[in-house]
Structure 1
């Protein structure tokens, strides 16, 4: 289902208008409440925005594999939240209608086959959803009991219990970075998997994430900060990326290894990131991408940084995050210097830069 660049660009340029039009039209359908069950129509608002960004990536790479993989996840996850499969059939039809009305005829004609394919293969996508299995991260057997305690007590809302358990692990000699990588990273993946499976509400998932920040922050400032100064680095989520946990874990891991880290916030505009890099001149820039739909933002950010720094600048730009775990073949398209799979790998790589001049 190849899409010409001019059509893909027309879709990206008008995606906000398209999202609003689809939301309005679906909101007028008397069957919406039946399709969504107990959920508010707002449940799908952010999902549509992510869908539009994601489809821009699919079109940019003519990536049918990425589309099929994501649709199985979407069908499975939202059906587990109580959303009828019938909702998606009408959602894709509505996207087709809106694209026809809003985009120029030639560009609409190039894009419509994608949505027609989604409608035609609706039954197959339902079957793919039934076969979908959520991703979890394996935990070393020696940490299994502590890991299970942390997950269970996070879900119970027992912040104090989690802090006490982790404090004991740190006193027993477990490095803080290991706590992040070997216990909390898989715990957060597990929490997300439980939401996907319909075992946790999105509200509970967000509350658990907020708890993790509180727990890790409480433990962080008890750590022995090194006296060594490896220089300055900059860590940031890309624009339109509202998931910050990965960036935060990377930033604190680097700080505890002797780096002076500037951590920018979620949805940092590219111009702000570029201006900060030009002002601070870090030894490296690390960009975090959680959602595949935001790979295009990473691509644009890397290009903006390259243009601003100039051809003779050797500042490394590295990328990481869940998006590249889900679609590793997209790494090369971003044009970064390196992809790093974990905070541990990033710390090891940063050490290889040696001492600052």
Structure 2
């Protein structure tokens, strides 16, 4: 094991959760890769953390960094309870699963959702705007992507408050016990949902398509793989977009010059969304990777079986890649950011998240010309996976 001292992230306190960027910058000054000790639900666990852009991009595409825990003999809780899914598989299994889901989750299908996303956005704003003030997360950023992904998958109306609680505990667990309970609840719900779909017969939703999807050689998803795919699409299909919208609006409202520039020229919106993704992306670090063999990253020796976390948020603020990285600039060429990952695990839902973010933020700015912050934001989510706020009070 490398002789580099372990950085205890817990010693940074709550300030690290609220604004991790100065801490990542200080780590980058000492090097692009560090051994860290984690807190929260991963209390006491150590891992390697990659904070440099070039090193992160290379690591995301490095086949020696495995996602399949079977290669190190330590399956994850959600994998044990729900089944295999894209984020915990490597080729050739990952290639097979992704090809099957890609057959159903096409760009054409995403683009067909545009009018429906616009209608849902308009309905949420119709309800929100007469009140004069609201929590933007509760009123728009959360219900929009949740409604879209539930309709896309064909999930019947559920108790949205309960689902929000379960979903948040999965991606940003308060502690190990609440994470366990949330995953168990989903492991019981998803097989029932899939069986209901089978009995109901063919419909035009994505989950029904996944049940029916068959490759040319007759291959199709097994029941466990269907549960795993539904789990990934349902959770990842809305949690990232919640934070894209919330973080993006927060960035605009705390940079009034950029907000004014966007209002003056809404053709800048697409580029502004890319800058939001670079500046304060919805995913702080990628899910765990594991060294399938000994390797080096930036001269640091990583032994077989050790955990590696790739800092997507940290990479977005690397001055070697982006000049003046802590400046939020909607005219910046932010292309190449790693907010949705890179390589074979690049986010399958990135086109849908971008579409929802552009529609939601565009409609909000158009219909709420006096939009402003209405007090302090809620606390930032715990853990190192998601980067987002629990609440964002606004007025107009």
Q: TM-score, normalised by structure 1?
A: 0.27
Looking at both structures, which has the greater relative contact order when contacts are Cα pairs under 8 Å and sequence separation is at least 6? Answer: 2
Higher share in helix = 1
* TM-score, L = length of structure 2: 0.25
Q: Which has the larger radius of gyration?
A: 1
